[in-house]
Amino acid sequence: MRPKVCALASTPRSGTHFLRFTLDNHPQMSWAGEFFRTDIKRNIRETRIQSYVYNGLSSTAIDQFKYVGFVWHLTFDTDLHYSAVDKFIVLERKHKLAQFTSIQIAVKTGIWRVPENKVNYKNTQKIQIDLEQYFKFLDTYNSAYNEFKKTGVEYKTVYYEDLCNDFNRTTKSIQEFLELDYFKIKRGDLQKQEHRPLKEIITNYEDIKKYDGFYKI
């Protein structure tokens, strides 16, 4: 039986790669990263998954799986039609200010994922948040999710905070949605970049926090 296709639809700094690496630990799934960027080097397995999703080219390397998956960033342009995907997992963050802060820190440092050789990596950078930029971020990202949910495709929404705080229950619910045999999945091998509370990162935290009404800081 040919594998079905699952896409992890999200926006940057939503915990996308943490969930992708986690799901790749399920014996019935094989995952690739982002498809809609030309600056990423893919290994042979990821290239085969991409060829399968785009052109239906199968191989013995992926035929053994029930699902193959990839990352679909909602803010990137693509020529891939939604019909190429059987099921979507929509990953969001409840804490929008934390997501925006994470983006700003990554842009400032140029580090989007902790290098494997930096086991005890700790960020010490601080930022000042511009309200106009924050509101633009909210409009852009909320619109991206809302437009996707209007497409009528089959999807399950997962929140990054639930994945972190109730990992086993959240990953079990994903497996149920995909109709996979239950497997106690191991967490994705990815180091978290930021552990500090926002008030230690944002220099104008007291001014900005009142605008973050969606999620209690």
Predicted model pTM:
0.91
Average pLDDT over residues 164-169: 96
Mean pLDDT of the chain: 90
- What tens digit of pLDDT does each residue of 106-130 get? 898 887 777 555 666 778 889 999 9
Distance CA 99, CA 112 (A): 13
- What tens digit of pLDDT does each residue of 5-52 get? 999 999 999 999 999 999 999 999 999 999 888 788 888 999 999 999
Q: Is 70 helix (H, G, I), strand (E, B) or coil?
A: strand
Q: Are 49 and 7 in contact (CB under 8 A)?
A: no
End-to-end CA distance of the chain: 47
The pLDDT-based confidence of 142 (bands split at 50, 70, 90) is very high
pLDDT at position 181: 94
